[in-house]
Amino acid sequence: MGVGLVVLTVLVVLRYGHGARRLAGGRGGVSAANQVFVYLWLFTAFAVVAPPIDTLARDLYFVHQVQRMLLHMVVPRHGRRAPLYFLNAMWC
């Protein structure tokens, strides 16, 4: 796995955590449920493109399909909102 992917993921998590703490003190802060869903989204997005799933997806077709299913169901793409986003909106 590329070091760049790990560094990018860590930077996104740190930046989101910093922004969530900053907003927590003011009006319209980020709820705990929202933070859980964002971190779950980031973990899922990272897990499906990192080994061992990505490595196995190159050799095993059904693992590739599981990888695609997770990406399509959880990670938003092309400006569409993922189902995890809507589940998050229900709790906020």
Quick: pLDDT tens for 30-58.
777 777 877 888 888 888 888 888 889 99
User: pLDDT grade, residue 16 (50/70/90)?
Assistant: confident
Q: In whole numbers, what is the pLDDT of the chain averaged over residues?
A: 76
Is residue 6 scored above 90 in pLDDT?
no
Q: What's the per-residue H, E or C state across 9-52?
A: HHHHHHHHHHHHHHHHCCCCCCCHHHHHHHHHHHHHHHHHHCCC
Domain extents in the chain: 3-91
Rg of the Cα trace of the chain?
15
User: pLDDT grade, residue 91 (50/70/90)?
Assistant: very low
pLDDT at 28: 64
